[in-house]
Amino acid sequence: MTIETHHTGNTKTAEVLSEEILVSNPEDGLQLMGDLYYQGFDKIILHEKNISPDFFDLKTGIAGEILQKFSNYRVPLVIIGDFSKYRGKSIRDFIFESNNGRQVNFLPDLSTAIEQLSK
């Protein structure tokens, strides 16, 4: 895992880069958030491929638990990827509702993510 740092104004954003799944359960999400927070990052960008596919199966509850932790600690998170492959109404509604807020967003690419996080 490597961290690419993006600066927007006085905000330091971590883009997490890896070829492996880094978040498989809520504890992984909390650990990642804590590690990055203690390194001085204010916001986090995570790639879809670094999250367990179970996250996108809302019946597991993993997505809700992880995103609740980010919301509770007020750490903005953007997950970037191609979410069009998720055809289920529940996950599509979940992504839509998340994107209406400012805390957690599901976006298609890095430039859109950085633009969103700079607001």
DSSP three-state, residue 3:
strand
Q: Which secondary structure element, helix H or strand E, spans residue 115, and what is its range?
A: helix 110-117
Provide DSSP, 12-39: EEEEEE-SS--BSSHHHHHHHHHHHHHT
pLDDT digits (tens, 9 = 90+) for 56-84: 999 999 999 999 999 999 999 999 999 99
Domains and CATH numbers, the chain: 2-117 (3.30.750)
β-pair type (77-80, 2-8): unpaired
Q: Which residues pair with 6 in a beta bridge?
A: 13
pLDDT digits (tens, 9 = 90+) for 16-46: 999 999 999 999 999 999 999 999 999 999 9
pLDDT digits (tens, 9 = 90+) for 80-110: 999 999 989 999 999 999 999 889 999 999 9
